[in-house]
Amino acid sequence: STATAANTLGHEQSEKLPRGVVIGKDGKPCRSCTSFAAWRDMTRGKARQDAAANDKGSSVAAVTKPPAPRADCPPDVETLGRGTWTLLHSIAATYPDVPSMSQQSDLLGFVKLFSKLYPCWVCAEDFQSYLGKEMPRVQSRDEFGKWLCGAHNEVNRKLGKPQFDCSQWQERWRTGWKD
Ligand code: FAD
């Protein structure tokens, strides 16, 4: 997918791993940095190697059909991303129109800490660089919602996804669509 391709841009990965599998800082494959499809290709490749080593033809056949993702697996980069954007845009939606100084400082602190703790490290590093270029705007709900929309669009651009119209962020995340 475009997401997994973008994830690997500029990040070296072992030639033995399928395209899109990102290595974590511990030197092991990073699940929250990798799409389910790439992770599955990697584990299927390993299952094939194990089956070939055991010389069991039936096991080889058993691993050729891609397994469907289970709902209760650890999140891949896309599931984690969707859930996280939902949380971030919902924080923007419930942020006050006129925040106090302490609310502004809490939100700024949260965004900075979030950018250090985000489990997909390649995503986190790019997000930190974005924060360096575009300081979060926390002066009001609409300012923050639009800033966040811009940050999300930057990731969309990197992944080859369509740009979201930021004038509509409140309909998408706060008020619902007028219809
Ligand atoms: P998502 O991008 O998850 O969006 C969810 C919903 O938000 C969309 O359906 C749409 O209704 C709405 N939306 C879309 N754009 C906007 C916007 N600009 N403003 C408001 N609402 C919007 N994945 C990678 O592969 N590589 C990365 O480097 C990477 N970095 C990330 C960094 C961060 C901080 C986060 C939170 C996620 C990152 N992701 C990354 C995950 C990626 O952004 C997507 O979440 C994932 O690919 C799933 O995409 P999706 O198409 O389901 O929609």
Residue nearest to atom 20 of ligand 1 (CA): 149
pLDDT tens for each residue of 142-177: 999 999 999 999 999 999 999 999 999 999 999 999
pLDDT tens for each residue of 70-79: 889 999 999 9
Does residue 65 register a pLDDT over 90?
Answer: no
Closest to 17 measured CA to CA, from 4, 3, 29, 25: 29
- Of ligand 1's listed atoms, the one at least distance from the Cα of 161 is 51
- Of ligand 1's listed atoms, the one at least distance from the Cα of 35 is 25
Instruction: Give the per-residue pLDDT at 121.
Output: 97
Does residue 68 register a pLDDT over 80?
Answer: no
Higher pLDDT pick, 22 / 11: 22
Higher pLDDT pick, 49 / 87: 87
pTM of the model: 0.86
Please choose from 111, 155, 174 the residue to mutate so as to test ligand 1's pocket, defined by most ligand atoms within 8 A of CB. 155
